[in-house]
A and B are shown apart, each in its own frame.
Chain A
């Protein structure tokens, strides 16, 4: 039973096509990344997935059934911009959100306090939200999304605007949820974040899925076509257009992109013939590269 299945959902705002026949599958227990540049349709997709808006066409299924109201209680949502009542005290607010998800006041209080303790907000539970720093507000927002122990947590750009320390705390909380068997979905335009955290991804651009599926498989599909190498001596081999499509000198090492159809072994031979190598490693392409290439193909 898939946690979420989107089947060819579409959403238009007037003339503007926000989401265009998008399909994806999220398996239980995985961390799923919804990736794409700003304005690609990530937020629109998330909103349709959790019932804030309704797709113009297509079907949203959750927990193996067509989406319905009752599913809302089993999911948590962290919106892109902070969505908390500024004048309300942190704990009251969290309890309110928990109760809206069907918790009793007592349970909601207990769970909120637990989470506040875990994320270092304990001293702030009695403060108004507006008195909190941005990072702390984001933590409170996160607790609001998970206080009712949802099976599925949806987060829209959870790391945006966070300082590195807070980002680490949040990431750890993520992984803890994952260990507890929850399904996590987050959107981001930062490929490096997704690369480190996600099991599966969906890359979208202009409302369409460019790539979708298991991150490892996607990468494997793109093959190992990058070489990282360290050398001393003549760099003539880098100019061989039959072997090298492009390269990037980072000072400490050089990253080489192999020409189409080139065998890495040939590059190794060419390099050893004129320089001394201290490193030669075949790399999987970065998500960013994959994205750029996929988008390039889609636009071509």
Chain B
């Protein structure tokens, strides 16, 4: 009996899976989406890198040539450092030598002139508009004293550029002031060295490097994947159930298999299609991003605990199954896809709520609110996972939330199988809620 049941479920999964994976639309979407997404990220990045590879010619206008030199050096070394950060680590080490070796006045991206005799701004403005220079910094004594300087350039500088520029100017002015007070350049560097804060988290007496980046990364990916999977594939589960209902195939199938077997097979089959697609995408993405990830992982910037990875797989799968089963139930009730679209938002509501609750839970992962909300099956895929990623709760809590999750999925499946079986006899009109409740009551006879 059980073996018949399992073999039937397996057959239905297999059919559902193969049928969908072989469809042209599946193949097209699998290939096309990464191309579009990749394009959306890659092309602007490429464009901006093309722009920045052009050498910018700036003029620093100041009556104090020495200060002008400080500004120039500051800008050049900072631009160089930025460059290095993006490039290979190797270059970081011999940065200082290179700066010295650099021919007089230019780095990769900037050519900077210091000018004390530029005279009036109008002449400089002309040079900018004629394309001779890209912009100039007007550092008159008054302006510096008031800490209110002017940059005029051909291209209005972006946010990043502006904050970078003002940061470098701050530092240059500080260096000058320090120099005037008799502090040498080396001493000034020591004084101005920024603080690097390392946070150590104590877990059960062990020191672990707290890893905000890794944790944040792990949580973000989970939430995004779950969202994407539910939105993309939940609907296809719903559609699959609806299709079968309308095509009357299930009448034939029900003469061979039970409605619960049918539902389970459909859910897992269509679900597996979604997982396959996501799997392919993740593989593609990681082939592209792996070098960078590996670099930051080895540099200790990203560190994800093995428990978090296990929780990721488990809660993602169960969360996906749970929401898909709700979609399946909706598919069993509705008579057309339009009706389903109206219900979509309601299905997603708990998921959205869970995302809203992430903040409070992350701030206080051990609070009663965090504990209870991470037990609710519709929240736990996100909230329990967040808790595990931040600070693993007691094992019994994890176990309980998993148990509740699995039990809910099973219960929804059974309910949905009942609705489905009765629903086949009712065509053309959507059942009212009281009717559905009635079906659930007598469906098992």
Which residues 125-151 in A have Cβ within 8 Å of B in the complex? 141, 144-145
How many Å lie between the Cα of A81 and that of B11 in the bound state?
A: 23
The answer to whether B248 touches A100 (Cβ under 8 A) is no
Which residues 229-262 in B have Cβ within 8 Å of A in the complex? 247-258
The answer to whether A83 touches B252 (Cβ under 8 A) is yes
Q: Which B residues form the contact surface with A (CB < 8 A)?
A: 1, 4, 7-8, 11-12, 15, 19, 23, 247-258, 421, 425-426, 442, 445
Known: A73-B256, A100-B256. 12 other contacts (CB 8 A): A47-B251, A50-B255, A51-B255, A70-B1, A73-B4, A75-B255, A77-B255, A83-B248, A84-B252, A85-B19, A96-B15, A100-B12
Which residues 44-83 in A have Cβ within 8 Å of B in the complex? 47, 50-54, 56, 69-70, 72-73, 75-77, 79, 81-83
User: Which residues of the partner chain B approach A77 to less than 8 Å between Cβ atoms?
Assistant: 251-252, 255
User: Which residues of the partner chain A approach B251 to less than 8 Å between Cβ atoms?
Assistant: 47, 52, 77, 79, 81, 83
The answer to whether B248 touches A13 (Cβ under 8 A) is no
Nearest 10 CB-CB pairings of A with B? A77-B255, A100-B256, A83-B248, A83-B252, A79-B251, A52-B254, A83-B249, A81-B248, A54-B445, A83-B251
- For this complex, into which size category does the number of interface residues on chain A fall? 20 to 34
User: Which residues of the partner chain B approach A83 to less than 8 Å between Cβ atoms?
Assistant: 247-252
> Least Cβ distance of B274 to chain A in Å?
19
How many Å lie between the Cα of A84 and that of B255 in the bound state?
A: 13
> Least Cβ distance of B260 to chain A in Å?
12
How many Å lie between the Cα of A84 and that of B248 in the bound state?
A: 8
How many Å lie between the Cα of A51 and that of B255 in the bound state?
A: 7
The answer to whether B421 touches A100 (Cβ under 8 A) is no
How many Å lie between the Cα of A77 and that of B253 in the bound state?
A: 9
User: Which residues of the partner chain A approach B253 to less than 8 Å between Cβ atoms?
Assistant: 100
| Interface status of A276 (Cβ within 8 A of chain B) | no
User: Which residues of the partner chain B approach A79 to less than 8 Å between Cβ atoms?
Assistant: 248, 251-252
| Contacts known (A100-B11, A102-B4); A72 close to B256, Cβ less than 8 A | yes
How many Å lie between the Cα of A99 and that of B13 in the bound state?
A: 13
Closest residue of B by beta carbon distance from A81: B248
8 Å CB contact of B248 from A47, A69, A82, A99: A82
The answer to whether B421 touches A99 (Cβ under 8 A) is no
Residue pairs across A and B with Cβ atoms less than 8 A apart, 16 shown, are: A13-B426, A50-B255, A54-B445, A69-B258, A73-B4, A76-B255, A77-B251, A79-B252, A81-B248, A82-B248, A83-B252, A84-B249, A85-B247, A100-B8, A100-B257, A144-B252
How many Å lie between the Cα of A260 and that of B75 in the bound state?
A: 120
Q: Which A residues form the contact surface with B (CB < 8 A)?
A: 13, 47, 50-54, 56, 69-70, 72-73, 75-77, 79, 81-88, 96-97, 99-102, 141, 144-145
8 Å CB contact of A56 from B425, B426, B445: B445
| Contacts known (A53-B421, A69-B258, A101-B256); A96 close to B248, Cβ less than 8 A | no
Most buried by A among B4, B256, B258, B442: B256
Closest residue of A by beta carbon distance from B23: A87
The answer to whether B425 touches A53 (Cβ under 8 A) is yes
How many Å lie between the Cα of A75 and that of B255 in the bound state?
A: 8
> Least Cβ distance of B429 to chain A in Å?
12
User: Which residues of the partner chain A approach B257 to less than 8 Å between Cβ atoms?
Assistant: 100
Most buried by A among B247, B255, B425: B255
How many Å lie between the Cα of A98 and that of B132 in the bound state?
A: 81
